[in-house]
Amino acid sequence: MANPRVAILGLGIMGSGMAGRVLAAKFPLTVYNRNPEKAKRFADAGAFVADSPREAAARSEIVISMVADDTSSRAIWFGAEGALAGANKNAVLIESSTLTVDWVKELATAAAERGCELLDAPVTGTKPHAASGELIFLIGGSEKALAVAKPVLSVMSRDILHLGPTGSGAAMKLINNFLAGVQAASFAEAVAFINASGLNRDTAISVLTNGAPGSPLVKTVAARANAGDFTPNFTLRLMAKDIGYAIEEGKRHGIQLQTAASALTVLKQAVAMGYGEKDFSAVIKAISESHP
């Protein structure tokens, strides 16, 4: 059987890596990006560049969105030139952005009215994982839609976890990123504390990274900070956005995410200092600068 036709909407840090994997696996690919310059290299590699999300969806059986937030997702899917307006009946629509559960459920209802099925399928991993096909997809939606999408998802991932009905993937992603953001923010404060205490910074950080606090994430952000390389794999601004979404989702379930609220304050401080478009590990540099 021929590979299904795929559209990818959004060619940012993650979407571009995903598109590269899909093209390499010989799926017929259509791409759309608000800034068409980002689509040029995919056109050169054989992808069709659509002028609108609607055109991209109309050419495809599987439509994948990877954008920044609820507002961007709504703009991609809804409206006269949105992907839903062009979606073919029985297409599988995949929303891989990190979004609120409420919006994902609204989108799923709109997809069903169009005769399509939606999978909410956010991912864990950052830029290098997207480029190398090592993402983990967190899936909410039906087994039937997942079976259709699996051949495409497989070329972009090392695992595909079906967590339950619509909204399950979105909820799990918010929980994942809230915990990651708390670790990054607390490590940033720990480094500022080390500096203020007059301890040898390298030795003190090695105690943390090689001891009980040294989670894979703490080790990663420590290495980025030590190298002074904050080229974005996942931006600080988006981490702050995700924690904000997680706090609101927690409230819906009667959970006050107090550590998330504290981490969000730290991250917002770093954004205000001009680090929003840097990798989220830059929170370490920002907080150290604020406590000279």
pTM: 0.97
pLDDT score, position 292: 81
Number of neighbouring beta carbons within 10 Å of residue 289 = 12
Rounded-to-integer distance, Cα 207 and Cα 131, Å: 32
Assess contact for 278 and 230: CB atoms under 8 A. Answer: yes
Helix axes 236-252, 258-270, angle to 10 degrees: 160
Domains and CATH numbers, the chain: 6-165 (3.40.50.720), 171-289 (1.10.1040.10)
Q: What is the mean pLDDT of each run of 10 residues along the chain (292 residues)?
A: 94 98 98 96 97 98 98 98 98 98 98 98 98 98 98 98 98 98 98 98 98 98 97 98 98 98 98 98 98 86
